[in-house]
């Protein structure tokens, strides 16, 4: 029987049917531009306001601190570029980490080319930021700390509360890319002293091309897209009403189901990790065992090319990923796996499998059974493994 098993939910998720259903009328019936005067269109303003409230409630924020964007990448770009511009008089230094998503990393590199200074913090072997190194990196000119809530490749969750406290004590703004964490772990922006937070719709069963940046009241940040007065003059462009409605529906749904859904995923995740660890030799789990997203499994298999593994999994109807979607297709190993200290050849043999709300135990068994077989097959063709096996009398 043909099977299809989607284990790439960190790349994107299936848009939930009720999300699509909620969006449809905003294409075909209530298509008015919220900025128009007549009520047919202007009532969409209230619709947007309602979605903003949903986001704010989930984060413990206020509705007017939520600014819709065209996704997580835009929110990250905005947080970094516009903050550094707005606080030029205060300083020119940003602290971030070596394991950020490219939306943050490449923006930081862009800012370096503009004359700003960036510290890229190392992480430990599980991908966790070292707080003493963060403290040491702070300068009088540090304006912004940008550290992701949870990593998209290895699932590691950072000590966000502690990082936020350090930022606050030093009068530094704190931005976190929470695209992976939002909807998966509870987040409160006040408890964690978060000043800015990026989120995206399509990572939590919402639509693609919609996200938001939470900006704490009082933070001076320049508008990012210039034009009309939308998003309180900070982000121009006719609102993506269907996208915003879909995003709101998805966030409400994710918040309502969080406990049960993530509890189930965590169990399946641990079952999968346990089976792979005990049944496939020379397999190493990447990322922290405990401080980990409930749906993330990431393993390195020695003596194997991750790309070959992915292709063979694909032939069995299994969707998985090597590193992040952005690095797939290039021959460079993932910057995250290198940052946690994996040698190139081991980083190359890595696979990320991220569970979704529809994943079952039967799916996991099918995947692990096939993984075992494929790893064996690839190793039997590997000269590296042959040498290794000879040396160890296998």
Ligand X SMILES: *Cc1c(COP(=O)(O)O)cnc(C)c1O
- Chain residues that interact with ligand X, rule: CB under 6 A: 71-73, 76, 101, 103, 148, 152, 177, 179-180, 200, 202-203, 211
Specify the DSSP element, H or E, that contains 196: strand 196-200
> Least distance (Å) from ligand X to the CB of residue 79?
11
Closer residue to ligand X in complex, CB, 61/148: 148
What count of Cα atoms within 13 Å lies in the side-chain half-sphere of residue 272?
Answer: 30
> Least distance (Å) from ligand X to the CB of residue 187?
14
> Do 129 and 159 form a contact (C-beta atoms < 8 A)?
yes
> Do 298 and 287 form a contact (C-beta atoms < 8 A)?
yes
> Least distance (Å) from ligand X to the CB of residue 330?
17
> Least distance (Å) from ligand X to the CB of residue 103?
5
Closer residue to ligand X in complex, CB, 261/352: 352
In the chain, count of helices (H) and strands (E)?
Answer: 14, 12
- What is each CA distance from 149 to 33, 111, 211, in whole angstroms? 35, 22, 16
Nearest alpha-carbon partner for 24 in 209, 212, 241: 241
Annotated catalytic residue 192:
no
Task: Look up tokens 């969006």; give the residue.
Answer: 23
> Least distance (Å) from ligand X to the CB of residue 275?
26
Closer residue to ligand X in complex, CB, 32/209: 209
Closer residue to ligand X in complex, CB, 116/247: 247
Closer residue to ligand X in complex, CB, 213/346: 213
What count of Cα atoms within 13 Å lies in the side-chain half-sphere of residue 283?
Answer: 23
Active site residue: 325, 326, 338, 389, which one? 326
Q: Which residues contact 21 (CB under 8 A, 6 or more apart)?
A: none
- Coarse DSSP helix, strand, coil percentages of the chain, rounded to the nearest 5 percent: 45, 15, 40
Catalytic residues: 326
């Amino acid at each position: 029987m043909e099977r299809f098993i989607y284990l790439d939910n960190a790349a994107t998720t299936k848009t939930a049917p009720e999300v699509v259903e909620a969006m449809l009328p905003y294409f075909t019936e209530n298509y008015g531009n919220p900025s128009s005067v007549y009520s047919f269109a202007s009532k969409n303003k209230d619709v947007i306001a309602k979605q903003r409230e949903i986001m704010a409630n989930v984060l413990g924020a206020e509705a007017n601190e939520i600014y819709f964007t065209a996704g997580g990448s835009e929110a990250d770009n905005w947080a970094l570029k516009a903050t550094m511009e707005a606080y030029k008089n205060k300083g020119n230094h940003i602290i971030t980490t070596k394991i950020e998503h490219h939306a943050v990393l490449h923006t930081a590199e862009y800012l370096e080319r503009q004359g700003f200074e960036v510290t890229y913090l190392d992480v430990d072997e599980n991908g966790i930021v070292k707080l003493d190194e963060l403290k040491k990196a702070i300068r009088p000119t540090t304006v912004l700390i940008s550290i992701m809530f949870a990593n998209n490749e290895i699932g590691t969750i950072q000590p966000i509360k502690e990082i936020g406290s350090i930022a606050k004590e030093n009068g530094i703004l704190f931005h976190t890319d929470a695209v992976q964490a939002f909807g998966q772990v509870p987040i409160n922006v006040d408890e964690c002293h978060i000043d800015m937070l990026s989120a995206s719709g399509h990572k939590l069963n919402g639509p693609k091309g919609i996200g938001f940046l939470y900006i704490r009241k009082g933070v001076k940040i320049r508008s990012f897209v210039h034009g009309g007065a939308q998003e309180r003059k900070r982000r121009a462009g006719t609102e993506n009403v269907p996208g915003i409605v879909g995003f709101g529906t998805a966030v409400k749904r994710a918040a309502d189901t969080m406990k049960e859904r993530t509890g189930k995923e965590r169990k399946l995740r641990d079952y999968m990790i346990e089976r792979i660890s005990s049944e496939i030799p020379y397999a190493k789990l990447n990322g922290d065992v405990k401080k980990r997203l409930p749906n993330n499994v990431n393993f390195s298999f020695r003596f194997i090319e991750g790309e070959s593994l992915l292709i063979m999994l694909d032939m069995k109807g299994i969707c998985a990923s090597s590193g992040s979607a952005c690095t797939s297709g290039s021959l460079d190993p993932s910057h995250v796996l290198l940052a946690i200290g994996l040698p190139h050849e081991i980083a190359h043999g890595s696979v990320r499998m991220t569970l979704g709300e529809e994943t079952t135990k039967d799916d996991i068994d099918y995947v692990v059974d096939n993984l075992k077989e494929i790893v064996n097959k690839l190793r039997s063709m590997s000269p590296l493994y042959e040498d290794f096996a000879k040396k160890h009398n296998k």
